[in-house]
Amino acid sequence: MPGQAEGPAMVTRMPVNFTAAVSNIKNAIPGRKGVINDRLHDLYGRDMKGTVMVFPACIGSTFTGMVLLELMRGGYAPAALVVQAADPLLVSGAVLAEVWFKAGVPVVEYPADDLFEAVKDGDRVSVDGATGEIRIG
Amino acid sequence: MEPKMKLDPVQEAMLRGEAGEGVAMAMKTLVSYGEAFGAARLLPIKSAHLSGTFGALTYKAYYLILERLVKAGAKVKVKTTCNPTSGHDLNFLNRHLTFSRQEELDGRLAALGVTPNYSCVCYEGANVPEKGDVLAWAESSAVQFANSAIGARTNRNSILTDICSAITGYTPEFGYLLDENRRARLLVKLDVKKMDPPALGFLLGQRVVNQVPVIEHYPFSRIELKNMGGAMAAAGAVALFHVEGLTPEAPDLKTVCDGEPEKTITITQADLDGLRANNITPDLVVFGCPQMTYEEAKATLELFGGKRSRVPAWFCMIPADRERFIRDGLADKAAAAGITVQKLCPLAALTVQLKRKTVLTPSGKLYYYLQGANYGNAEDCLAACGV
């Protein structure tokens, strides 16, 4: 998905269930829409907003596209998504946000396993969704 | 826009706006979405199934888009079923806050021409595909069942891309619509004495994540496939699984793997038992995620042996099956056993509560999503009910 963005990396090796992450009463608190409230996940309690999220895959509900759309439209989403395997639910969210509200976020697919060696939680990362380039630091 | 995907004249006309603005935007969405996955073309679909039936307060973008589509006069081109209701009328909080836009949403879906079956288990009656049918379904558990148990072909569509497909009648050709993506790459061996399909589904979702597994032969019933698949699709992103010698695309291992599996994993009895909660005193026992069929509810009711549960229990059923259950007097029998027969989605209905209830459920899917939910197999749940 095209677009350029940068931000602090938020890295996890656990696949992310975006629906489980933000479909919680705590997410209704103003300003807390982008906080991950999936109690089974290691990013529990972290705020996605403005980060470059780096994760292996997106799992779970078919609500995910709408969940991401809502986050992107509202400005609570990550600045960019870097994923090892881009799947329909993740991409749908970005496409819907872009086509209907011009608020899409770049999505970069990086299939190799060295992704997690190269990017560490907190690193300053910039991405280019059109070329797939990921720059660290 | 200059699409990289090859569109035929009808599709191009839709994109240009000749079938209305709603259809044009839907087509634009599908083309962008398909191109992200290298889809070469769009395929016509036999049916659609929509996930987005919860009128939740926070899904503003959804209502904005639906309003635009309805105003543009868009109508679904194929049979389109939809997911369960949210249980907005369960309590004050649900009705006036959490799902306060339910009636507005129901109205919009009706305006689009959606079949109001209101069940995630659309494949039992309301929307039955055949092997090989190309579909555009959402609802991870329905996608699972259509692909795995029936051998139809659908990707894990999201809310809204499901509607875009329904109103155009097309879906991009990628993913599970292609033969090469349907073969099993991973073999699951079973070292279990007492099978627990939802627990197995949950574990496979976590371990397999987004690949296509084939489970070595086990005579799962249709209902067990449904419950196992629901858990697999929630705890992971598995859209298709095979069972050797059981599911339509897996007559034998060699065929379904197109050679040898790339990897083998083994699930043991200890793995399955590890999910079961110990010493839980639940406030509520919930059966039916995915929703129960008439036969399933009847069989589960029989396990109560005519006794009354010491804990309130719910059977969440397909609405049409629940109507029949009521007509046949079984809902009364259930009520006498302390069971309320619901037509809602238990996850939606129970997500926002003033006082967190401790729930025990034999649903791997509900266990994954619901805060305060504990997993127990069928016997554990009946024991908790004291029957």
Interface predicted TM-score (ipTM): 0.79
- Among the three residues B239, B273, B307, which one is the final residue of a domain in this structure? B273
The string of pLDDT tens digits covering residues A126-137 is: 888 877 788 887
Please indicate, yes or no, if residue B362 is contained in any of the structural domains. yes
- Which residues does chain B have within 8 Å of residue A57's beta carbon, measured at their own beta carbons? 209-210, 237
Please indicate, yes or no, if residue B3 is contained in any of the structural domains. no
- Report helix, strand or coil for A47: strand
Please indicate, yes or no, if residue B4 is contained in any of the structural domains. no
Check which CATH number belongs to the domain holding A104 and give it: 3.50.30.10
- Which residues does chain A have within 8 Å of residue B375's beta carbon, measured at their own beta carbons? none
Rounded to whole angstroms, what are the CA distances from A94 to A78, A126, B6?
11, 18, 22
Residues B263 and B361 in one domain: no
Answer yes or no: do B158 and A92 touch at CB < 8 A. yes
Please indicate, yes or no, if residue A43 is contained in any of the structural domains. no
Contact B276, B268 (CB under 8 A): no
Residues B50 and B143 in one domain: yes
CA distance A2 to chain B (A): 10
| A20 Cβ contact list (under 8 Å, min separation 6) | A37, A38, A40, A41, A60, A61, B368, B369
Please indicate, yes or no, if residue A29 is contained in any of the structural domains. no
- Single pTM value for the model: 0.90
Alpha-carbon A66 to chain mean position: 13
Residues B200 and B114 in one domain: no
Digits of tens for pLDDT over chain B (387 positions)? Answer: 455 799 999 999 999 999 999 999 999 999 999 998 889 999 999 999 999 898 887 788 889 999 999 999 999 999 999 999 988 888 888 888 888 889 999 999 999 999 999 999 999 999 999 999 999 999 999 999 999 999 999 998 988 899 999 999 999 999 999 999 999 999 999 999 999 999 999 999 999 988 999 999 999 999 999 999 999 998 888 999 999 999 999 999 999 998 889 999 999 999 999 999 988 899 999 999 999 999 999 999 999 999 999 999 999 999 999 999 999 999 999 999 999 999 999 998 888 776 778 999 999 999 988 877 999 999 999 999 999
Please indicate, yes or no, if residue A39 is contained in any of the structural domains. no
| B305 Cβ contact list (under 8 Å, min separation 6) | B387
- How confident is the model at residue B3, as a pLDDT? 58
- Among the three residues B230, B247, B273, which one is the final residue of a domain in this structure? B273
Residue of A66, A71, A72 to mutate for B, most B C-beta atoms under 10 A: A66
For residue B157, give the nearest of A56, A88, A100 by CB distance.
Answer: A88
Q: How many domains does chain B have?
A: 3
- How confident is the model at residue B376, as a pLDDT? 95
Residues B76 and B112 in one domain: yes
Answer yes or no: do A27 and B352 touch at CB < 8 A. no
Answer yes or no: do B25 and A69 touch at CB < 8 A. no
| B192 Cβ contact list (under 8 Å, min separation 6) | B200, B267, B268, B269, B272
Answer yes or no: do B368 and A15 touch at CB < 8 A. no
Q: How buried is B287 (Cβ within 10 angstroms: 0-12 exposed, 13-18 middle, 19+ buried)?
A: buried
Answer yes or no: do B140 and A57 touch at CB < 8 A. no
Residues B33 and B159 in one domain: yes
- Which residues does chain A have within 8 Å of residue B159's beta carbon, measured at their own beta carbons? 62-63, 65-66
- How confident is the model at residue A25, as a pLDDT? 67
Residues B39 and B93 in one domain: yes
Residues B164 and B57 in one domain: yes
Residues B47 and B165 in one domain: yes
- Among the three residues B273, B292, B324, which one is the final residue of a domain in this structure? B273
Please indicate, yes or no, if residue A109 is contained in any of the structural domains. yes
Please indicate, yes or no, if residue A73 is contained in any of the structural domains. yes
- How confident is the model at residue B1, as a pLDDT? 45
Answer yes or no: do A24 and B156 touch at CB < 8 A. no
Residues B167 and B203 in one domain: no
Contact B181, B90 (CB under 8 A): no
Answer yes or no: do A69 and B61 touch at CB < 8 A. yes
Please indicate, yes or no, if residue A104 is contained in any of the structural domains. yes
CA distance B162 to A62: 9
Please indicate, yes or no, if residue A81 is contained in any of the structural domains. yes
| A112 Cβ contact list (under 8 Å, min separation 6) | A84
Cβ under 8 Å to A: B residues 235-274: 235-237
Size of interface A-B (CB pairs under 8 A): 133
Q: How many domains does chain A have?
A: 1
CA distance B339 to B300: 11
Residues B301 and B240 in one domain: no
Contact B362, B289 (CB under 8 A): no
Please indicate, yes or no, if residue B1 is contained in any of the structural domains. no
Tokens of B28: 């634009």
Contact B287, B359 (CB under 8 A): no
What is the extent of the structural domain holding B73?
Answer: 9-179
Low-confidence stretches of chain A (pLDDT beneath 50): none
Nearest residue of chain B to residue A107 (CA atoms): B36
What is the extent of the structural domain holding A110?
Answer: 4-16+49-136
- How confident is the model at residue A121, as a pLDDT? 87
Please indicate, yes or no, if residue B33 is contained in any of the structural domains. yes
Residues B144 and B216 in one domain: no
Q: Report the catalytic residues of A.
A: 61
CA distance B237 to B233: 5
For residue B369, give the nearest of A20, A98, A100 by CB distance.
Answer: A20
Instruction: Say yes or no: B61 contacts chain A, CB-CB below 8 A.
Output: yes
Residues B319 and B251 in one domain: no
